Structure formats: structure tokens, C-alpha cells
Amino acid sequence: MNVDVTTLPGIGVRKEFSLSKVDRRMGVVDHRDGGTDLIFTRIGDPDTTVQIPLSEVEARTLASLLGAPQLVAQLREQHRELDGVSTRSLSMPPNSPYSGRRLGDTEMRTRTRASIVAVLRSGDVFASPGPDFVFADGDIVVVVGTNAGLDAAASILSDG
């Protein structure tokens, strides 16, 4: 995919690409002061640009949301030929009993026979988190196991 990069003197850098299913371009403006704007433009009409300023946390959260499906798709492809093995991304609910607690406290592997293979948080990927990894609200937890195990993992993260 081609990403067009345009220097905006005194402002920063605009990076955008064309979307394949709609007549739009999408991208970001990285400001010199560290700010980021999400942008949408109708192809061939820069006057239609919609520019949405994002805080650092919002930009990282959006990156996590966009990155999680790709990571899950990649793991699904790797497990495609393994009967009974699935991959699912689970959102850590805001009131999860495990928010602020260690992964080891969940006893996830023992209780579900499913494994947490990654956690996405604010644009960062924590691969193979250990038992001392501490969950936070909004984490995207990538789990591999049977469908029953994945259902049980979702229940543990939301209800304890």
C-alpha cells in the first residue's frame, strides 16, 4: 500500500492513503508539537478534509483497536490447520475484577486450558505476558484455546 507523505511547513507531516472500498483518503497529521490528527478526505477534493485532533491516549487506543484484529488474524492463520484451536481478542471491561491485578491471579490456564498470548495496550503489544503482568482497563487480551476455553476466559475477565 502506498502512503503519501507530505511535509507541512511549520506544522508537521501529513501521511495518508486511499481506501479501497470508498472514495476517500485516510491518514494522520503528525504535528511538530507532538499532537496527532486523524484525517479523512474525499479523493481529489482536499477541501473536504475532516480533521479530528486526538490526544496521545486516544491515538494509542485507536492504534490498539486497529492492531488487534490484524494480530488475531495472523494467529488464526497460524492455527488454521489445528482442529479445535481458535484465537480471540477479548476486551478488558472497565469494571473487570482483574483490572489492576496480575495475570497470574486469574489462573487462566488452569481454569480454562486457554493461553493469553498477547495484550495490546495504548498501541503497545505485550507478547507472551508472564504471571506478573498487571492488567489495565481497556486492555485487549489475545487468547488461544478451544472455543469453550475462550468463552470461559471471556467470563473470567469480565466476571471473575
> Tens of pLDDT along 36-53?
999 999 998 888 999 999
The pLDDT value given to residue 94 = 82
Alpha carbon separation from 60 to 35, 51, 65, 87, 129 (Å, rounded): 12, 17, 9, 23, 19
- What does the pLDDT profile of the chain (160 residues) look like in tens digits? 788 888 889 898 898 999 989 999 999 998 988 889 999 999 988 889 999 999 887 887 787 777 777 777 777 777 776 778 888 889 888 889 999 999 999 999 999 999 999 998 877 888 889 999 999 988 889 999 999 999 999 999 999 8
**pLDDT tens track for 92-109:** 888 899 999 999 999 999
For CATH 3.10.450, list the domain ranges present in the chain.
4-79
Is residue 121 within 8 A of residue 64, CB to CB? The reply is yes
Is residue 24 within 8 A of residue 41, CB to CB? The reply is yes
What is the reported pTM?
0.62
The pLDDT value given to residue 24 = 93
CATH of domain 4-79: 3.10.450
CATH topology for 86-159 is Alpha-Beta Plaits (3.30.70)
The pLDDT value given to residue 92 = 87
Residue 90: phi and psi, rounded to 5, are: -120, 130
For CATH 3.30.70.1450, list the domain ranges present in the chain.
86-159
What is the rounded CA–CA span in Å between residue 57 and residue 107? 30
